[in-house]
């Protein structure tokens, strides 16, 4: 793997470069939130000028607090089910399968647009029980290709906002109908975050549009039958927030005064 992979992405697919890069920067911190050495090595394998993202290391917690939270929940799920399926939707170039290193009873599916999956194939090695699915999440047929023979975790981090509410709810209903039991671990922007999307550098730079706003678990429970809420945690209240900078902790205190800001990004966990 000496030759670097060429990166040619636009829109929503391009957003995963920022999340990967911030994870790589976090890995170099004295007190990292995630400490993902796989991400640090991955950015070296891509032929890309990372300065083009226009983002600096101080913003890393915006991504790593979330990723560390979903790693913790996914670990819980895998600890309870040594035979399981993981469907990691909108995986981007995230190294979760390497970080969690699941056991031999786990079949893991990383799912994203074909251009993103093609990059994964170039920069990451194959591993037993690991599969790539190149598709749009909104294609109704891809889920039916995944065996429904064991408890299933649908982990969708950083993708719901690129779907419309109808597409997202339909996808979740399809998961609940298809698999015997499991969990949905998914994050959402609220209405305030969706309305203020023009202020987000990431969306401006990639030309991506955000759609699905979820203000609380009721918005999901009302549209998807057969799921039960296990947890709903705003970004600022995540257990994984601890090692972030003093600046982030100051913003966290201020956010408590403005509920729409405090709940701008929420981590939800459901059982079915």
Ligand X SMILES: C[S@@+](CC[C@H](N)C(=O)[O-])C[C@H]1O[C@@H](n2cnc3c(N)ncnc32)[C@H](O)[C@@H]1O
Structure tokens at 223: 């549209």
Task: With beta carbons less than 8 A apart as the criterion, state whether 264 and 238 touch.
Answer: no
Cα–Cα nearest to 213, from 263, 251, 156 = 263
Q: Is residue 235 involved in binding ligand X (CB under 6 A)?
A: no
- Displacement of CA 57 from its chain's centroid (Å): 19
Helix axes 37-44, 11-27, angle to 10 degrees: 120
103 by DSSP, 3-state: which? Answer: coil
Location of structure tokens 């040594």: 82
Q: Is residue 187 involved in binding ligand X (CB under 6 A)?
A: no
Structural element, H or E, at residue 75: helix 61-80
Q: Is residue 102 involved in binding ligand X (CB under 6 A)?
A: no
Question: Can you tell me which of 48, 108, 162, 267 binds ligand X, judged by CB under 6 A?
Answer: 162
Q: Is residue 122 involved in binding ligand X (CB under 6 A)?
A: no
The minimum distance between CB 142 and ligand X, in angstroms, equals: 9
Q: Is residue 73 involved in binding ligand X (CB under 6 A)?
A: no
The minimum distance between CB 158 and ligand X, in angstroms, equals: 3
Question: Can you tell me which of 6, 136, 164, 181 binds ligand X, judged by CB under 6 A?
Answer: 136
Question: Can you tell me which of 90, 102, 217, 243 binds ligand X, judged by CB under 6 A?
Answer: 90
**Measured from the CB atom, is 91 or 149 closer to ligand X?**
91
Cα–Cα nearest to 192, from 210, 213, 220 = 213
Q: Which residues of the shown chain bind ligand X in the complex (CB under 6 A)?
A: 12-13, 15-16, 19-20, 67, 90-92, 94, 112-113, 116, 136-138, 157-159, 162
């Amino acid at each position: 793997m000496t030759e670097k992979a060429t990166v040619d992405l636009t829109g929503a697919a391009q957003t995963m470069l920022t999340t990967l890069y911030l994870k790589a920067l976090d890995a170099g911190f004295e007190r990292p939130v995630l400490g993902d050495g796989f991400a640090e090595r991955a950015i070296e394998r891509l032929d890309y000028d990372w300065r083009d993202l226009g983002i600096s290391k101080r913003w890393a917690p915006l991504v790593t607090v979330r990723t560390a939270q979903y790693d913790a929940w996914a670990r819980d799920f895998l600890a309870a089910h040594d035979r399981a399926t993981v469907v990691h939707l909108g995986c981007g170039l995230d190294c979760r399968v390497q970080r969690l290193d699941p056991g031999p009873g786990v079949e893991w599916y990383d799912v994203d647009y074909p251009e993103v999956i093609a990059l994964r194939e170039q920069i990451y090695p194959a591993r037993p029980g690991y599969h790539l699915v190149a598709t749009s999440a909104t294609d109704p047929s891809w889920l039916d290709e995944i065996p429904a023979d064991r408890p299933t975790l649908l982990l969708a981090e950083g993708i719901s906002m690129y779907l419309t509410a109808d597409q997202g709810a339909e996808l979740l209903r399809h998961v609940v109908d298809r698999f015997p039991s499991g969990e949905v671990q998914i994050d959402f922007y609220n209405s305030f975050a969706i309305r203020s999307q023009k202020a987000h550098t990431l969306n401006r730079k990639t030309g991506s549009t955000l759609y699905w706003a979820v203000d609380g678990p009721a918005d999901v429970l009302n549209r998807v039958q057969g799921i039960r809420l296990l947890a709903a945690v705003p970004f600022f209240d995540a257990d994984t927030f601890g090692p972030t900078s003093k600046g982030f902790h100051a913003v966290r205190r201020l956010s408590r005064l403005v509920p729409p800001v405090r709940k701008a990004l929420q981590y939800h966990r459901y059982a079915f």
